[in-house]
């Protein structure tokens, strides 16, 4: 799968998760997908929330690894 195809699939999953982030005053932005690593920037309340690492790893990363073939990890970029 090309990285462009992977990015499209990642965006689809993020669009499904976005309402939950928005409900808590946050959001996320896809920065890059490289070698199976998705780089995200957390925005709004998510950017400064002490639970953001849990949201990123337990929520977003788990969903992406399960639903997008080739995704192995999610990293937060600032």
pLDDT at 34: 94
The pLDDT assigned to 37 comes to: 96
Q: Which residue in the block uniquely carries the two structure tokens 């005053």?
A: 25
Q: Which pLDDT belongs to residue 47?
A: 83
What six digits make up the tokens of 38? Answer: 């998705």
Distance of alpha carbon 63 from alpha carbon 78, whole angstroms: 21
Q: What is the structure's pLDDT at 50?
A: 83
Domain 3-76 has CATH 3.40.630.30: no
**Burial of 15 from C-beta contacts in 10 A (0-12 / 13-18 / 19+):** exposed
39 token code pair: 């780089």
The domain ranges of the chain are: 3-76
Among candidate residues 31, 11, 8, 20, the one with its CA nearest the CA of residue 78: 31
pLDDT at 14: 97
pLDDT average per 10 residues of sequence, the chain (78 residues): 91 96 93 96 86 87 96 94
């Amino acid at each position: 799968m090309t990285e462009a195809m992977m990015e499209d699939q990642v965006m689809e999953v993020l669009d499904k998760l976005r309402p939950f982030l928005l409900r808590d005053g946050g959001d996320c932005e896809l920065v890059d997908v490289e070698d199976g690593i998705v780089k995200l920037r957390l925005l709004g309340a998510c950017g400064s929330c002490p639970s953001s690492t849990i949201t990123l790893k337990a929520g977003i990363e788990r969903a992406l690894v399960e639903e997008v073939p080739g995704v192995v990890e999610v990293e937060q970029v600032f």
